[in-house]
Amino acid sequence: MTQEELLQALASEIECSTGCTDPGSVCLAAAAAAHALEKPAEEIQVLVSPNIYKNGVSVGIPGTGRVGLELAAALGVLLDRPQRGLAILEEVTGEMVCRAEETVAAGRVTVKYGETPDPLYVRAVVRAGEDEAQAVIMYDYSNVVELSRNGRVLLCRQGGAGGPLPCPFQGHTVEELYRLICSMEPEAFDFLLEGAQRNKQAALRDLEDPTRRLGRTIRACTAIQDKGPLAVCGAVRAYTAAAGEARMGGMNVTITAITGSGNHGITNFVGVLTAAEELEATREQTAVALAISSMITIYIKGYIKRMTAFCGCGVAAATGMAAAVTYLLGGGYEQSVQAMQTVIGTIGGMFCDGAKSSCAYKLSTAAAMAVQAAYLAMAGCHVPAGEGIIGKTIEETFANIGRLNDPGMLETDRVMVSIIAQRRAKG
């Protein structure tokens, strides 16, 4: 892989997102369908995959103070700007929220989940009189693969560019990519620094809000004067918790997402940046560390895909973060591998029960675990290769995690969705 190909691969998996990507995707699909309809929609019907349902029903929608995929769909029709992608919810106004709530209250929005062609799937159908338009998102949160109006196809990308997303690092070893990153000029990764700063701003906004308690409480409980491991863990946990709390709670903040996930982006970018600041790393060291973490997060997601039955922040983003923090501590590739194996061997089974406020607790715990694993690796302590799901190589470990997700935990995921749906039905 060339340097240019590496940079293109990193950039292809990074995107700005306002709010959780699951309701964001529903909003985007509704907006795309409404735009194709070319008139105010009177009725909205949405079908989502079970995973989208799981991740979307309980998470805050930016600028609304509300949750619900029905509201997200109604807002999409009003926003009618699909070109904004996953940042579409950034433009929500109070008037739009009132109108969207009226639409939902009138029973004009229906959202159901069921069997779909891909675990990541949204189909929005909007109607006005005799006219009907449809938009389908599949494989990735902003990937519109079908668009039609009154049966006339306006867009069809089911094959080629519209197919399942391949891992951009397929065919390359982790060590090859790690060493390529370390050989490059750090300035090449400035765009990652910009993304990290954007996510850190979300954390700062949360910490300034007296109604948001998680990040502030963790920061107060873990404030340590020295710059030892506990201080780094505490700072990382506080800032990632704050950014996660802001996003899951529905604050109108724009996040740099990675591999289709804003929470992965928070763990990856805020976690590494905060650790670098605590360790007083240089700008150049921070940029390289962000590249290492981002590459590994993307690499792992190539095995476990966009939708997972376990927490991707713990399995993917925190694993990449562990390698990056090890690098910041002066460790080499072998120690980074040891840190990654420790993260997966310790918290790899943390399940995903949908996007909601508790995600901030999970991702901040995973980020702190990444720091701990890095310090342990530097001290010669790590989960040994060949134990449990830990392979003889890091690639083997990643492959094992992929198998655990699918087919291993498919039934777990079905039961999880059923529990969430039953609880929601009971109110």
* Rounded distance between C-alpha atoms, residue 7 and residue 187, angstroms: 12
pLDDT in tens, 355-414: 899 999 999 999 999 999 999 999 999 999 999 999 999 999 999 999 998 899 889 989
- Domain-wise residue ranges, the chain: 21-162, 174-419
What is the reported pLDDT for 250? Answer: 87
**Residue of 206, 255, 239 lying closest to 87 (CA atoms):** 255
Torsion angle, CA of 10/12/18/24, rounded to 10 degrees?
-130
Q: Where are the beta strands (DSSP E) in 87-163?
A: 109-113, 121-128, 131-138, 144-149, 152-156
**Side chain identity at residue 223, one-letter code:** A
* Rounded distance between C-alpha atoms, residue 171 and residue 311, angstroms: 26
**Residue of 199, 202, 214, 250 lying closest to 20 (CA atoms):** 250
Instruction: Return the biggest CA–CA distance within the chain.
Output: 69
What is the reported pLDDT for 223? Answer: 72
Extract the residue ranges of the chain whose pLDDT is less than 70: 158-165, 224-226, 427
What is the reported pLDDT for 163? Answer: 52
Q: Thinking of the domain 174-419, which architecture would CATH place it in?
A: Orthogonal Bundle (1.10)
Please check whether residue 339 is in contact with residue 323, taking contact to mean a CB–CB distance below 8 angstroms.
yes
Q: Does an H or E element contain 267, and which?
A: none
What is the reported pLDDT for 162? Answer: 52
Q: Thinking of the domain 21-162, which architecture would CATH place it in?
A: 2-Layer Sandwich (3.30)
Distances (CA, A) of 402 to 78, 276, 301, 373: 39, 30, 8, 21
pLDDT in tens, 257-300: 999 899 999 999 999 999 999 999 999 999 999 999 999 999 99
What would the DSSP string read from start to end of 379-419?
TT--PPTTSTT--SSHHHHHHHHHHIIIIITHHHHHHHHHH
